[in-house]
């Protein structure tokens, strides 16, 4: 939590003013029982004798104290809210920026559901904790110890006031003991919440697959198991926290009984040392302590949750990206891309996903990458843009090791079309300008024409101003794929990577797309990842992968004769006689 306090720097004034106004409110509130004692002991007897001025003046004083207290409360609430919201906003921005700076390896390790929890639930818990801390953390001790001091001021003999001295340490032991017991338990609750959110996310993302295989009941049982675990953990920690209120009630009420007994004896035996009004004031002070301790108990629970959430956020912020910029030797700049005995292993896997990947690609070449499902095609092209780092071996782009590039500089050279076509909510223009923020409408339309999406654009009302729904849900799969290809082309990258990005296109559209890309005037290097041999058979070089290894490199005819894996894929897609 301490490392997050740097985000409070812009709110130091609010962090001082909010507790200050709360302390002022508490000070004026402590004067009220003193005025009540005066009314009972002085104003009411004077009123019986016909002098009501004391009662009127006392009531006006109480109303004034209430008005001043209300004003202080409003200012305190304002400053606390401003500091809490601003503090949390800075944390969220910093956390989001940090998460986007992490490599795929760290994101895979942490899990998407965990990161979403940190950005939402945990951040909101921290905001609530900061808000309540600024408002109540100083007020409650001031009321508790102020009431004890005022008790000794009222009861100069200190017989009845000694009850405060005995009650307050007991209450402190209960409150802080329960706080220490619940902090680690709330951390476990938040961890279980991650599991529930992860399960919900997986089910919503894969709902069609679940329904296709009729596994709704199985997934419901798994989700129920996780929610029941969360429920039990929350009930357990809640039960411990719930003990706080009855214990504080019991201690304070016992203290009130003792106070009334001792005070009543003192009033009856020696009224000169303690009057009825003063006994009522002592009772009011004890009641104030009870109310404040209940608030403090609830505040402690909130702070406990906030500290657990803050530590979880801090843990993410402390994770450093594994992708550091290194000064490494270069390679032959004639090659657009070069792999030298590269090995890749994912963080969660004990085995290599890619082994001994070794090949070169000259500038302007078109390279096809093919292989069965799970053979490592996407893993290979992800290493070009350094989304994953080679554990062993090296990867070069334009003669420079990818680890020596600033990530922005490297990825500006690469136009990436991911396997899953993703568009964001906004206009088509906004989506396509991701490739180049300064691209004109003419440049965007040119990219759309190459991507074979001009007919789709013409059919949409508003053209480039057509509003895409979240995830591109108001477009078909093929339309989304073509627009994501256009987005990659807008920036005129030196290297174009099409990761199975034409799977939803018919063969004729796919052929037109490849022909248009081959005709681009500045001659980029093109990688086409596909499971269709028809999509890559005219490539300058075809790389065949099988179980993470290269089993063939060459052109179409060479591989048909020399690579059984490629020949098998081709034979499964084409009938005898060459017809599709």
For residue 424, give the CATH number of its domain: 3.40.50.300
For the record, the structure tokens of 495 come out as 């290297």
Integer-rounded Cα Rg, in Å, for the chain is 36
Residue 538 within a domain: yes
How far, in Å, CA of 485 to CA of 514, rounded?
A: 11
Q: What is the pLDDT of residues 150-200, one digit of tens each?
A: 877 877 666 666 777 777 788 778 877 877 787 778 778 877 887 887 788
Residues 426 and 373 in one domain: yes
**Residue 559: count of CB within 10 angstroms of its CB:** 25
Residue 264 within a domain: yes
The total of structural domains in the chain comes to: 2
Predicted pLDDT of residue 576? 47
Residues 194 and 275 in one domain: yes
Residue whose tokens read 């085995």: 351
Residues 267 and 218 in one domain: yes
Answer yes or no: are the C-beta atoms of 252 and 171 closer than 8 Å: yes
Predicted pLDDT of residue 138? 82
Kindly give the pairing relationship between strand 400-401 and strand 392-397.
antiparallel
Residue 29 within a domain: no
Helix, strand, or coil here: 298?
Answer: helix
Q: What is the pLDDT of residues 351-408, one digit of tens each?
A: 899 999 999 999 999 999 999 888 999 999 999 999 999 999 999 999 999 999 988 8
Residues 344 and 306 in one domain: no
Residues 6+ apart with CB under 8 A from 517: 450, 489, 496, 498, 526
Paired residues of 394 in beta bridges: 340
Predicted pLDDT of residue 542? 96
Of 317, 345, 364, the one marking the end of a domain is 317
Residue 73 within a domain: no
Residues 554 and 508 in one domain: yes
For 67, counting Cβ atoms within 10 Å of its Cβ (0-12 exposed, 13-18 middle, 19+ buried), the class is exposed
How far, in Å, CA of 379 to CA of 442, rounded?
A: 34
Predicted pLDDT of residue 367? 96
Residues 299 and 344 in one domain: no
Q: pTM score, two decimals?
A: 0.73
Residue whose tokens read 């009431």: 147
Q: What is the dihedral of CA 305, 310, 312, 314, to 10 degrees?
A: -170
How far, in Å, CA of 389 to CA of 403, rounded?
A: 8
How far, in Å, CA of 420 to CA of 477, rounded?
A: 10
Helix, strand, or coil here: 189?
Answer: helix
Residues 234 and 289 in one domain: yes
Residues 204 and 351 in one domain: no
Helix, strand, or coil here: 514?
Answer: helix
Residue 32 within a domain: no
Of 282, 317, 352, the one marking the end of a domain is 317
Answer yes or no: are the C-beta atoms of 103 and 389 closer than 8 Å: yes
Helix, strand, or coil here: 475?
Answer: coil
Q: Which residues of the chain have pLDDT under 50?
A: 576-580
Answer yes or no: are the C-beta atoms of 375 and 530 closer than 8 Å: no
Residue whose tokens read 């530590």: 311
Residues 168 and 211 in one domain: yes
Residues 379 and 289 in one domain: no
Of 271, 287, 317, the one marking the end of a domain is 317
Residues 156 and 214 in one domain: yes
Instruction: Identify each DSSP E strand in 197-249 by its residue range.
Output: none
Answer yes or no: are the C-beta atoms of 195 and 226 closer than 8 Å: yes
CA-closest candidate to residue 369, choices 188, 236, 559: 559
How far, in Å, CA of 109 to CA of 578, rounded?
A: 46
Residue 238 within a domain: yes
Residue 79 within a domain: no
What are the percentages of helix, strand and coil residues in the chain, rounded to 5? 65, 10, 25
Residues 341 and 216 in one domain: no
Domain of residue 295: give its range.
92-317
């Amino acid at each position: 939590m301490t490392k997050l306090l740097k985000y409070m720097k812009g709110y130091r004034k609010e962090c001082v003013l909010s507790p200050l106004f709360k302390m002022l409110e508490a000070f004026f509130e402590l004067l009220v029982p003193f005025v009540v004692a005066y009314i009972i002991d002085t104003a009411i007897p004077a009123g019986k004798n016909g002098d009501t001025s004391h009662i009127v003046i006392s009531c006006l004083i109480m109303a004034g104290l209430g008005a001043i207290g209300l004003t202080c409360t409003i200012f305190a609430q304002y400053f606390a809210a401003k500091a809490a919201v601003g503090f949390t906003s800075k944390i969220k921005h910093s956390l989001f920026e940090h998460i986007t700076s992490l490599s795929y390896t760290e994101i895979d390790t942490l899990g998407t559901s965990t990161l979403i929890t940190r950005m939402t639930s945990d951040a909101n818990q921290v905001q609530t904790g900061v808000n309540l801390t600024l408002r109540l953390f100083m007020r409650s001790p001031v009321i508790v110890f102020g009431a004890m001091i005022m008790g000794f001021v009222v009861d100069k003999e200190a017989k009845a006031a000694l009850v405060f001295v005995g009650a307050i340490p007991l209450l402190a032991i209960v409150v802080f003991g329960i706080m220490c017991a619940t902090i680690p338990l709330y951390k476990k609750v938040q961890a279980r919440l991650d599991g529930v959110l992860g399960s919900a996310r997986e089910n919503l993302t894969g709902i069609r697959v679940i329904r296709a295989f009729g596994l709704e009941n199985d997934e419901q049982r798994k989700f129920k198991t996780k929610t029941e675990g969360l429920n039990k953990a929350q009930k357990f920690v809640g039960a411990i926290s719930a003990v706080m209120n009855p214990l504080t009630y019991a201690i304070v009420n016992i203290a009130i009984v003792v106070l009334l007994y001792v005070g009543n004896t003192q009033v009856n035996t020696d009224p000169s040392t303690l009057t009825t009004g003063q006994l009522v004031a002592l009772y009011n002070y004890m009641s104030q302590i009870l109310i404040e301790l209940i608030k403090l108990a609830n505040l402690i629970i909130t702070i406990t949750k906030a500290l657990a959430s803050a530590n979880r956020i801090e843990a993410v912020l402390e994770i450093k990206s594994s992708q550091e910029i290194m000064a490494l030797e270069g390679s032959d700049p004639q090659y657009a891309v070069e792999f030298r005995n590269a090995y890749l292993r994912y963080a969660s896997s004990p085995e290599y996903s890619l082994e001994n990947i070794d090949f070169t690609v000259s500038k302007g070449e078109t390279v096809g990458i093919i292989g069965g499902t799970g053979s490592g095609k996407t893993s290979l092209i992800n290493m070009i843009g350094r989304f994953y780092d080679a554990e062993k071996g090296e990867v070069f782009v334009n003669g420079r090791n990818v680890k020596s590039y600033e990530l922005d500089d490297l990825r500006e050279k690469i136009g990436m079309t991911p396997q899953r076509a993703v568009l964001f909510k906004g206009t088509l223009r906004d989506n396509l300008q991701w490739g180049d923020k300064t691209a004109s409408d003419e440049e965007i339309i040119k990219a759309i024409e190459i991507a074979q999406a001009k007919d789709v654009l013409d059919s949409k009302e508003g053209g480039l101003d057509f509003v895409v729904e979240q995830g591109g849900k108001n477009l078909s799969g093929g339309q989304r794929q073509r627009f994501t290809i256009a987005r990659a082309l807008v920036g005129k990258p030196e290297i174009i990577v099409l990761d199975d990005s034409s799977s939803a296109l018919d063969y004729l559209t796919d052929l037109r797309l490849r022909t248009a890309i081959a005709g681009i005037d500045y001659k980029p290097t093109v990688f086409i990842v596909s499971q269709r041999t028809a999509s890559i058979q005219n490539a300058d070089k075809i790389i065949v992968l099988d179980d993470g290894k290269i089993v063939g490199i060459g052109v179409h005819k060479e591989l048909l004769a020399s690579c059984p894996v490629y020949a098998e894929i081709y034979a499964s897609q084409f009938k005898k006689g060459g017809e599709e």
